[in-house]
Structure 1
Amino acid sequence: MANPWRIAAMGLVVTVLGWFLSPMISLLVNKFFSSLFDASRKIQELAIHTVPKLEQMLREIEEQRMHRKAKKERSAVQHLDELAKIVKSALYEAEDILDLIDYHRIERDIVGGDDDGDDAPHAGSNWHQHIRDAIHACIDCCKNRSAELLPIHRAPSVSLEFSSCCQSVLIWSTNWFQVARDYRDYWSYEVVGITGYYQEDGVAVDSFLPSIARWKLGRRIEKLENTVADVEKSPLLNQKSSGTWNDIVNMNRRSITSSSTRKVFGRDMERDTIRSMLREGPDDSAASSSSSKCYSVICIYGIAGSGKTTLAQYVCDHEKEDKDRYFDTIMLIYISKAYRLEDIFRDMLDEITRNRHSEITDCKGLEAKLVENLRGKRFLLVLDDLWVHDENHEKLLSPLNAGKAGSRILVTTQSKEAALGSNRLIAISDLEEEQYFSMFMHYALDSTVFDDREFIPIGRKIANKLNRSPIAAVTVAGQLWRNPDIRFWQTTANLDVLNKTKGALWWSYNQLVVDVRRCFQYCSIFPRRHEMERDNLVRMWVAQGFVKDNDGHKEDVEDVGQDYFHDLYSCSFLQLKRKVTSDISSGEYFTVHDMFHELAVTIAGSDCVRIDRGIVTEHLPKHVRHLCIECYSGAEFPEQILKLANLRTLIMCNSVGGMSKDDFERVLTRLRKLRVVHLDLQDLSTVPACIGELKHLRYIGISPSLFNDITLPAEFTKLYHLHEFWFSPSIDLHFTSPARMGNLINLRYMHTWKGLDIPDIGRLTLLRNLFRFTVRKDKGYEITQLEHLNSLSFRLFIDHLENITSREEAALARLADKAHLKDLTLRWGGDDEHSTTPRATDPELEAEVLQELRPPSGITSLCIRDYSGARYPSWLSGEDDQGDLPALKYLMFWGCNGSSVPPMFGERFSLLYQLSVAGCSWSSLPDNLDCLTMLKELIVQECPNMQSLPTLPRSLTSIVVSDCNRSLEKSCQTRGHPNWQKIRHIRYKTIR
């Protein structure tokens, strides 16, 4: 009689073999299962068809909403609002799916699936090894899962619920089955030569996504497809509005990089009146007493958008430009409805001292500092957009009495009741008709080259609809300027929606393309009048995926984002607040006008939310995507926020206390869809490892309250989508896995100030800032790492150039190709831990190396330090046809003790402003300095071999000669000496 155990064993073997062989048979015969579920095809359909269709639907919904709202069809508007929520949610979901696919594609390319135990084995391994790996994986899985999910031996049997046991068994079985199935799939595909069901861009989705993950993605995509089908059935989207909005949007768009310059119309008389009133009052020489105030108040009032802020700014600009400056300091401060005294005092201090004094944490300390800086000064303080008088106003005005008599406060407000008791009130008037029309046409047609005669009558018709609202004129005119097509103007002239200011703003918003609209809506998360730095805001848009190059050009995505920004600026959606400029970098800060901010908040709805002090006072919609916490107080982080599973942005603004590290870890653990994170933390020494699970993260900024060292975990290197990370300047970063930082192939910005000491930085080919690069002889730190980093911009400091071994190696750095660099320092040796022994010099090699390190032509500042070469490169003298440096303004030679013969500067240094020579062995300055006709400053320090000066350019206004040869210093001070004669014409002379 047959052994039943043997029969059962044979049956099991046959079953297992059949299970392993079945995919080969299925795939080779009719590929039934691949047609049943083809994830790659669905993903391709999602990217090519579904996402564009959703964007088109969103545009149609917004256009229909404006049309229905103009007709006051309330029920239709409400229905369209609901449709908009559904479509927005679907669009976000589609973007997340595509983003996740891209993440796993990058992961496969970088790590090849060998870093994590749950990844499939490499293709190309032999199939025997696949089987052994599969067996070991299954055994390990059994051990782990039996311990984790079947803890029957740890508890009395009577306490176990049957349902829990069944659930544990099911989970255990599913995980075991998944591991075996993945190994089976790889093994069987390898044998029959099949690598995946479908290839997209040469990559099969099957090759880096597990089966269950593909199945889940398929389900998510099917839901999206059903959503699209349901929304398409709405009768409201199958009607065409009378305004022919699509024609309006798609007509001839002007693609010009600049629009009309900002100009003030019709306010000169009011400006002069206010300036006269500012000077009227008590005797300026009279000291203010304890019973009298040193200031008086003038108030400008009028409705929103009437030009109050513009007029106040106009007055301030003329006061600043006045040669006989009347006021010692001028402050323009925006006052929000729910302002905090600490913020206002900081703003005032920033206007006076250019320092917000963040080291002062209490209001009384800030007030004392303000009193100190105002004492004895006559000031002009503009309080812009002040609201109804309240008790805080008295506290706000209290420190101002430290000023000098004759000081003034200029208030702008919508209500006379907020005039701080002043009886000097100025109602802002409407512009005269012709003044208004001139302003309108200035923004609509300025700088055009075509005949504008046919546009003038149509422009007048449009302007007459706008009820002389300045903000409506600038906004609508900006859209007309962007579309100089007579048909567009004619269509616009017939729109009734322009009869009201809010309608005009809404119409202007609807002329923007979908992606630009999303960028504008994003601005609603920031507080009113919040100053947004231009480049940082653009990078946040890019991080959210709002910026796309829809035309298929190879233009950098940030350049496209700058075009979006200009679209908003040209139509006054964004307004320039202030500029911070230098020869190295520049920062432009913009604000959103109150009426536009209100529009953005209305349109964004529950997508964008801002809460004050971290206190959630009402229910947060579950679909919130972008959240700003204003004035976070350091209290326990709200649980309601941690439930927002779809959150993409979490920003803290104007915090007065930091988040605890425990709350920070909770945020990273539970909010997995975050793309932009900028938080103030109480104390942090190590970033939690769970940050590696944020697969969508693009931007992270951390500001600890204590400036200590921070360690980044190994999991940080799994943030393959990361574009930018920012840490406080004084923080030292340490890396658990420095060798794997090169995995962050999408990294563009590292705001660490001290650079990154990591190997193989050349893998980060998109990197835009690298403040310092130290050349070593160790593998991964060679100068050749810079070869492909052609996006580097702003400043680059390269030290320890003595570690370059040949001219050819130096040439591979290709510095001349770094077209965006502005400030370059080249140094032999260094003052850090890499300078353990005195360096040996090879003058000939150093000369060859410097010859090959030719800077890019757009460089504005160049410093050569501790150079001991036998000669100076031809690109400095102008002998090299490719060595032209026409933008160079600052040139420095520090510690150059090689050749005693200085370089002969070429005449092509036409913009050179400053030349600095310090600690050099030169016997003289270059003989042809007089050809530098723009040179203003000459600095010569610690040059003992220098005894005479050449003929100096007449443009020089300042010269410093210090700690040099005593005879040189003495001759420069001896009347009649040739050296004295050569510096005689220079206004500022320092000889010591």
Structure 2
Amino acid sequence: MQSSTQENLSKVVIVGIGGLGKTTLAQLVYNDQRVVSYFNLKMWVCVSDDFDVKILVRNIIKSATNRDVENLELDQLQQRLHRNLDGKRYLLVLDDVWNEDVRKWGQLITLLPVGATGSKILVTTRSTRVASVIGVDSPYIVEGLKDDESWDLFESLAFKKEEEKMHPNLVAIGKDIVKMCKGIPLVIETLGRTLYFKTQERDWLSIRNNKNLMLLGDESNILSVLRLSYDNLPTHLKQCFVYCTLFPKDYRIEKKLLVKLWMAQGYLQESDENRDLEDVGNQYFEDLLSRSLFQKAENENANNVLSCKVHDLMHDLAQSIVKSEIIIVTNDVKIIPERIHHVSLFNKSNEMPEGLMGKPIRTFVIGKPDWNLRTGPFYGDYYSTDTFISSLKYLRVMKVSFRPHEVPTSLDKLSHLRYLDLSHGLFKNLPSAITRLKNLQTLKLFRCENLKELPIDTKKLINLRHLEIDEYNQLTYMPLGLGELTLLQTLPIFWVGNDSGESRHMGRLSELKFLNNLRGELEIRGLPNARGSEAKEANLEDKQYLDCLRLRWEEEEEDTEENEEAVSVMESLQPHPNLKDLSILFYKGVRFPNWMINDGLDLLLPNLVRIQLWRCMGSQVLPPFGQLPSLQYLHLAQLYDVEYMMDYPSPAKPFFPRLKTLRLSYLPNLEGWGRRDVAAEQAPSYPHLENLELENISMELCLHLISVSSSLKSLRICGIEELISLPKELQHVSTLQTLKIEHCYGLATLPDWIGRLTSLTQLTIIACPKLTSLPEEMRSLRHLRQLRIFSCPDLWERCQRETGEDWPKISHIPAIDIPRGY
């Protein structure tokens, strides 16, 4: 990455008109493995129109620490920034910079620490003037695609496979369109995806003959051309697309959130009574994604996009269409337009913008642009008054954190309300008036840390589909009658209460009986309060849409009688075969239930991908997890009594056929994956195991697992005191990329054969005080990009830059972190 200077903190600028791919190019650089290895720290901040130095510094700190920063003064922010960046070689990307004010840029540079030699700032901008202001005389100018590249891109998006051969007339028109796109990737991609749905020649001609496309030559025409993609949308997708201007530019929008908001506004059209509105919304999301109106931001897998972003030009397009109907209120906005329908209020002052009260507002959001973080100090007591709230009689979506200790009872006046987010509120209870919101579909109560109970009449919310709650509250039970809300799809946590005291209003596990539309994840807490008979009524076997199930007992010790009851409860909580993720925590049963232990677990849970058992006391035998055909992740921790796993599967059943990650920690009595008298030649192998973590387990088991894991990419060994040197079997694992050795107090040497680990890119050694030197063969690790050594006093001295005895062995490694006294 070439830069304008050779100083400790140098600058690189990428310049080009909107839609040419500046951000994409910067992302390619940012994520390149060479860049990842070279820099100790990478940060990405989208700047856009508002070059507010204080906000920028806060966002830089947030990117560096992955934590939101409270409202500190600028000098405090600078101190925090220096603590995180000083002495590190860092890369800071400032994306989409418009500021041409030399003074503001100078102020930001002054606040930034210089960093270690090689630190860089990478800026993307549409203006060569910005490059000059930054002090870069020779920016990298992004040019459009070449003609053949443009056609290849367009053809791949506009035609189904082999379809171009069937429509030579469309190919000819398409080539004319591509020439007029002037090599701008965003325009080519948008028009290509728009025409993918068209096979009539007239549709293609209408694009080719568009006067805005003919005049495309600079940025001023791009929005008009992009409007063609909007004009070709079905009506139901148009309103869904422009609604996204409710979010700031470059904001990562969660698909699930967006679908719920569309549903609340009535944008989702039911074409099939057997199809859920959420599924309709998911299809709308995919349609907008396929037309390049959305861009992928985060994928769960190849077939499921979790979130999206809207390109800044697409955001400008949407804003130009809705004009003042949707507005993000900032400090600069003093007057609310008459035709306002949707408001995001991020004003830091306590003053209400003039004319907000009584407007026909359908969406009202207060807080930071990040819907998932604490909103901080409340923005003004006025918004919590009954007078203000009752004036918003058309409201369908409301997000506000009530910092007072009570939620206004006037919420029941919002009869059209469908989405209500009260997260981060300080209230202890919700008013009973809230149960009169008969149209409410989503109630979100994240981080309501004082909340003690839900309303007694919660069952009256007959249209509730999503009750979003987390663990950060004081809830100990669920209200009686919750099971009558049969439309419920989201219920992340269900508390089983102690049936003494308030049992008259307390729902039991049987409330889950008819909630068969539950999907996603469900955690059942307070299971020591449950009995086997009622657990059966929870009817988990019929919850076919659940992906994730967590069963949680409590941490305190229980007597033998309660342990037997725990087994009875577990026997009754057998999940549906569709389950993908199972966690069992603090289980005190003397054995696991029969449905887990018996042969045939592979038939009961054929889709299970992930298992976690944590602090399950009492049982000496693990279920036959090796049978599970889809299992990819297995984490066993603090199972102090476990000795072995059930007998090996038969030869007809492969052993852990898809396991990729195995994490074992604090299993002092576990010696292997079967009974101890099984012959060694029957020991299994792990054909797909890539990630192995071994912490405080027996030396015997450690050696065994490494010896049969030939495809490892990552290995962590921690707390195995008998380990004197690395297991010799490891030298044959040529695929290993990451090796971490932690708290192995007996480790005295690294073997000479370490040089055979030719794929190794990261090596971390922590708290191995007997390790006094590094082997000569460290020089052979030519792909090693990062070396971190902590709490190894002798190595600190021997690895000192230029002067240490071991420095010549590691001097070729780009990123070395060996702090003193850590």
Task: State the TM-score bracket (shorter-chain normalisation).
Answer: 0.7 to 0.9
Equivalence for 2:242 = 521
2:56 alignment partner AA: I
Shift of 1:479: 1.0
Q: Is the 8 A contact 1:622 1:643 kept in 2?
A: no
1:338 alignment partner AA: D
Question: 1:564 and 2:284 equivalent?
Answer: yes
Q: Is the 8 A contact 2:327 2:340 kept in 1?
A: yes
In structure 2, relative to structure 1, the CA distance for the partners of 1:323 and 1:766 (3 Å cut) is: same
2:66 is matched with which residue: 354, 359, 362?
A: 354
SS at match of 2:267: coil
2:339 alignment partner AA: H
1:426 is matched with which residue: 140, 152, 159?
A: 140
Matches within 5 A, 1:766-915: 766-775=487-496, 778=503, 781-801=507-527, 805=531, 809-827=534-552, 829-830=553-554, 840-841=561-562, 843=564, 846-847=567-568, 850=571, 853-863=574-584, 865-868=586-589, 872-879=593-600, 883-892=604-613, 894-897=615-618, 900-905=620-625, 907-915=627-635
Equivalence for 1:471 = 186
Question: 1:719 and 2:471 equivalent?
Answer: no
TM-score by length of 2: 0.74
SS at match of 2:288: helix
Equivalence for 1:127 = none
In structure 2, relative to structure 1, the CA distance for the partners of 1:981 and 1:472 (3 Å cut) is: closer
Deviates more, 1:593-602 or 1:917-926: 917-926
Quote the Cα distance in structure 1 between the aligned partners of 2:669 and 2:19.
Answer: 66
1:752 is matched with which residue: 445, 466, 469?
A: 469
Shift of 1:650: 3.6
2:153 is matched with which residue: 439, 442, 460?
A: 439
Higher relative contact order (CA 8 A, sep 6+): 1
Question: 1:742 and 2:452 equivalent?
Answer: no
Matches within 5 A, 1:159-198: none
2:106 alignment partner AA: E
Matches within 5 A, 1:476-875: 476-484=191-199, 488-499=203-214, 500=216, 501-549=222-270, 551-578=271-298, 588-613=306-331, 616-618=333-335, 620-630=336-346, 632-654=347-369, 657-665=377-385, 666-681=387-402, 683-702=403-422, 704=424, 708-729=426-447, 731-735=449-453, 738-754=455-471, 757-775=478-496, 778=503, 781-801=507-527, 805=531, 809-827=534-552, 829-830=553-554, 840-841=561-562, 843=564, 846-847=567-568, 850=571, 853-863=574-584, 865-868=586-589, 872-875=593-596
Q: Is the 8 A contact 1:862 1:891 kept in 2?
A: yes
SS at match of 1:712: coil
Q: Is the 8 A contact 2:595 2:601 kept in 1?
A: yes
Quote the Cα distance in structure 2 between the aligned partners of 1:952 and 1:988.
Answer: 21
Quote the Cα distance in structure 1 between the aligned partners of 2:315 and 2:705.
Answer: 60
SS at match of 1:555: coil
**Aligned structure 1 segments of 4 or more residues deviating by more than 6 angstroms:** 945-948
Equivalence for 1:407 = 119
Shift of 1:927: 3.0
In structure 2, relative to structure 1, the CA distance for the partners of 1:784 and 1:642 (3 Å cut) is: same
2:89 is matched with which residue: 378, 381, 387?
A: 378
Quote the Cα distance in structure 1 between the aligned partners of 2:565 and 2:37.
Answer: 59
Equivalence for 2:741 = none
Q: Is the 8 A contact 1:622 1:646 kept in 2?
A: no
Q: Is the 8 A contact 1:922 1:946 kept in 2?
A: no
Quote the Cα distance in structure 1 between the aligned partners of 2:173 and 2:305.
Answer: 39
In structure 2, relative to structure 1, the CA distance for the partners of 1:361 and 1:702 (3 Å cut) is: farther
Matches within 5 A, 1:952-967: 953-954=685-686, 958=692, 960=694, 962=696
Shift of 1:452: 4.9
Q: Is the 8 A contact 2:566 2:587 kept in 1?
A: no
1:156-199 CA-partner distances (Å, limit 9, x unpaired): xxxxxxxxxxxxxxxxxxxxxxxxxxxxxxxxxxxxxxxxxxxx
In structure 2, relative to structure 1, the CA distance for the partners of 1:362 and 1:845 (3 Å cut) is: closer
Question: Is there any run of 5+ residues in structure 1 with no aligned partner, and where?
Answer: 1-274, 283-292
SS at match of 1:846: helix
1:409-453 CA-partner distances (Å, limit 9, x unpaired): 232222221111210123322322111111111222265667455
1:341-375 CA-partner distances (Å, limit 9, x unpaired): 2332232223322223x335333222222222221
Question: 1:916 and 2:636 equivalent?
Answer: yes
SS at match of 2:645: coil
Shift of 1:840: 2.9
Quote the Cα distance in structure 2 between the aligned partners of 1:547 and 1:859.
Answer: 29
Shift of 1:601: 1.4
Structure having the larger proportion of residues in strand: 2
* Max Rg structure: 1
Question: Is there any run of 5+ residues in structure 2 with no aligned partner, and where?
Answer: 217-221, 370-374, 710-714, 722-822
Quote the Cα distance in structure 2 between the aligned partners of 1:464 and 1:607.
Answer: 36
In structure 2, relative to structure 1, the CA distance for the partners of 1:726 and 1:952 (3 Å cut) is: same
Q: Is the 8 A contact 1:878 1:884 kept in 2?
A: no
TM-score by length of 1: 0.62
Shift of 1:741: 0.9
2:656 alignment partner AA: L
2:364 alignment partner AA: T
Quote the Cα distance in structure 2 between the aligned partners of 1:680 and 1:377.
Answer: 38
Quote the Cα distance in structure 1 between the aligned partners of 2:37 and 2:624.
Answer: 46
Shift of 1:942: 5.9
Quote the Cα distance in structure 2 between the aligned partners of 1:568 and 1:983.
Answer: 47
1:689-722 CA-partner distances (Å, limit 9, x unpaired): 1111111112222355xx7443211111111222
Q: Is the 8 A contact 1:575 1:593 kept in 2?
A: yes
2:143 alignment partner AA: S
- Give the number of equivalent residue pairs: 676
1:700-752 CA-partner distances (Å, limit 9, x unpaired): 22355xx74432111111112222233442523244x7320111122233333
Q: Is the 8 A contact 2:655 2:686 kept in 1?
A: no
Matches within 5 A, 1:54-453: 275=1, 277-278=2-3, 281-282=5-6, 294-317=8-31, 320-322=32-34, 325-356=37-68, 358-390=69-101, 391-419=103-131, 420-445=134-159, 447=161, 451-452=165-166
SS at match of 1:477: helix
Deviates more, 1:303-312 or 1:915-924: 915-924
Structure having the larger proportion of residues in helix: 1
